Every structure is written in structure tokens, then in C-alpha cells.
Amino acid sequence: MSELISVIIPTYNRAADCRRAIESVLAQSHREVEVIVVDDGSEDATREAIEGLDSRVIYLRQENAGVVAARNRGLAAAQGAFIAFLDSDDLFLPWKLEAQLAALRFYPQAGMVWTDMVAMDAEGREIRPAHLTAMYSAYRYFNREERLREGERLGKVWPAAPSALAERRMFMANLGAQMFLGNLVHTSTVLLRRECQQVVGFFDTVLVRSGEDYDFHYRVCRLGPVVYLDVSSIRYRVGATDQLTSPQFDIFMAHNTLQTISKALAEAGGKIALPCHVIHQRISAVYFWVGRAEINQHNRKGACYAFAKSLVWWLPNWQALVYFVVSLLPFSVFEKLCRLRQQMRSKNQYVA
């Protein structure tokens, strides 16, 4: 059976970073890879930076259409039995794909495996050795440690594991309901079976700018069991202004999250395996997020509507009640409060 892995790297105006990302794939201990670089209309020397690197590198260029279209272009071109994604400013650690392949061999019923990640700054200095739970707030609802105690050792699954990794653990689980409460999966850490991707389809092109990854991984998790491997397999850059997780994209992230969970609830006929009050609290919290994001856009009407919907779903949400009242104030007062909130937010913002 072929174990060709198609690694899809969307990029835009990151020539030097993109070259380093590609090199991290070419340096993998698992050599059977193809690297599909989708240049989303870059205006820098991206093409020149990667020309001649390796025959396994496939360069595709498109007019600027965003990361969703770029990833989908890569998926359409992929020939591998497995799919991995890598953002062009991140790096794979050398054993990443080999370890994940071993996990999927051990768990043949699992469609996907993902991992933790090392956070680094723009100069490549390590900030945090395990950044996943700091970045994704949904982990506060998910007892990862308890599941890991029951999981398998990486050394058992992958006999060639370096000694520093052999005792790390992994577990398989059905997370279709759990993912309703928030994303647990970071895209650049994923290895996915191609047949699984073909069933769930492509990234949703309606979800622009940010948040499309949550929808995609949620659909994968609803399909069947997945595997979490408790190692950091990539180096993830934090703090860059062009990252889709930066504060300027919060409005898109909030709206796309709302669309993702609303679609999931509709497709499930309202029957998600969670207590009813938990579902209502989740939807209320996302509407509250949308309202705060609309405040940052100084959109009083949009904020008022979102806070009202938040209260409809969960009336005891007192924060939504306070914000709803604020959104009803005269526009001049509302604007002053918006500016004050933005000033406080910029002072206290932790850039992730």
C-alpha cells in the first residue's frame, strides 16, 4: 500500500518563510512525500525562492482568492493516500509524518491524527513547548489528561521513536459531539486519510478569512474516530499581523464559528449528544462573541442583534445582558464606550 503523503502549503507573500516550510517537509524521516505549494497570487519572489528545491515540490499559482481556495486547490491536485497541511510560516519537526503514520497504522479505524505544537516568535525563539491548550479555549471542556492515561505509548506504536518521545501517549476517541463546544485541532498538526477527506469534501468556501479550519475538522470528527498524539510535532509562529488568528480577523472568526455550529446543529436535527443546556450555553456564548466583535467594528445594530440572540439562547448570560443594554445607548455614548473598550483591549491583548 502506498504511503505517499501530500503536504499542502498555501502561501501569500512569504517567500523566505515558505522556503523554510518546504525544507522542513523535505527533511522528514518519512521520505514518500509530495509538497504542493499553492501560491495565492503572491507579489514577491515566492516562485523564485522555491524553484529547483526538489522534484517532489509542485508549484501551483492562482489569482488571490484566500487560504480556503488555496487549500482546496491543493486538495484537488493531491495524489497521496494521506493529506497533511502546513501553513507557510510554520515548520514540521523531522519525525512528524513518520510518527503520525505509525499512529494511523495502529488505529486503522481512525480518519485523522493531530498533535500539540511548539510556539515560536518571529525570530524562531521558543515561547511555549506545548501551545495547543493555550491557543484553543475548548480544551477547558475536554479532559485530555484523563484520556491520555488510558492511551497507548508512542514507543509501542512506533518502535523507532526517539527515546525522548517513546513514553508520550496517544488516544483514539469519537469527538463529534465534543467539537460542538469548540475547535480542538490545529491544521498544521494534522495527518488525514485521503478517503476520509474525500467523504467530508473540501474546506467551505463560504467561510472566508478565518475559522474555516474549525468547520473542516469538525466534519472529520463527526465522521468517525480520530487520534490525538501528545507531542509537539510542529513549530508554530505566533504574533505576526498577517496571521488569520490576529485580532483584525476576529469578526470573521466569530461569524464563521456561529455558522459552523448552526450548520452542525441543523444537520444533526438538533440531536447532538450533549445536555440541552450545554448546547444552549454554547450558542449563547458564540452570539456574545459575535456581538463583541461587532462592537469592535462600531456596528451598534449588529451588536444589539447578537446580544439579544445570546439572551434568547441563554437568559442567565448576564454579560450579554449588560452589553445589550450598552448597545441601546445613544450612538455617541456607544461610540465612546467602543473606543474605551478597544483601548483597554489593546493594552491587555495577548497576541497568540
Q: What are phi and psi of 155, to 5 degrees?
A: -60, -30
According to DSSP H, which parts of the chain are helical? 15-26, 46-50, 67-77, 96-106, 132-135, 144-149, 154-157, 194-200, 212-223, 250-267, 276-296, 300-313, 318-327, 331-348
Q: What pLDDT is recorded for position 315?
A: 92
92/22 Cα distance (integer angstroms) = 9
Q: What pLDDT is recorded for position 344?
A: 65
Q: What pLDDT is recorded for position 349?
A: 43
Burial of residue 130 (CB within 10 Å: 0-12, 13-18, 19+) is middle
pTM of the model: 0.91
Q: What pLDDT is recorded for position 153?
A: 96
Q: Domain residue spans in the chain?
A: 5-237, 247-348
Grid coordinates in use for 202? Answer: 473540501
Grid coordinates in use for 323? Answer: 452589553
Which SS3 state, helix, strand or coil, does residue 237 take?
strand
Q: What pLDDT is recorded for position 150?
A: 85
Q: What pLDDT is recorded for position 342?
A: 64
Q: What pLDDT is recorded for position 341?
A: 63
The one-digit pLDDT tens for each residue of the chain (352 residues) are 689 999 999 999 999 999 999 999 999 999 999 999 999 999 999 999 999 999 999 999 999 999 999 999 999 999 999 999 999 999 999 999 999 999 999 999 999 999 999 999 988 899 999 999 999 999 998 988 888 888 999 999 999 999 999 999 999 999 999 999 999 999 999 999 999 999 999 999 998 777 889 999 999 999 999 999 999 999 999 876 555 455 577 899 999 999 999 999 999 887 899 999 999 999 999 999 999 899 888 888 999 999 999 999 999 998 899 889 888 877 777 677 667 766 665 555 433 2
pLDDT digits over 7-41, tens only? Answer: 999 999 999 999 999 999 999 999 999 999 999 99
pLDDT digits over 200-250, tens only? Answer: 999 999 987 778 899 999 999 999 999 999 999 999 998 765 554 555 778
Task: Give the residue among 202, 98, 182 at the shortest CA–CA distance from 140.
Answer: 182
Q: Options 3.90.550.10, 3.20.20.80, 3.40.50.720, 3.40.50.1000; which CATH number does 5-237 get?
A: 3.90.550.10
Q: Dmax over Cα atoms in the chain, in whole Å? A: 67
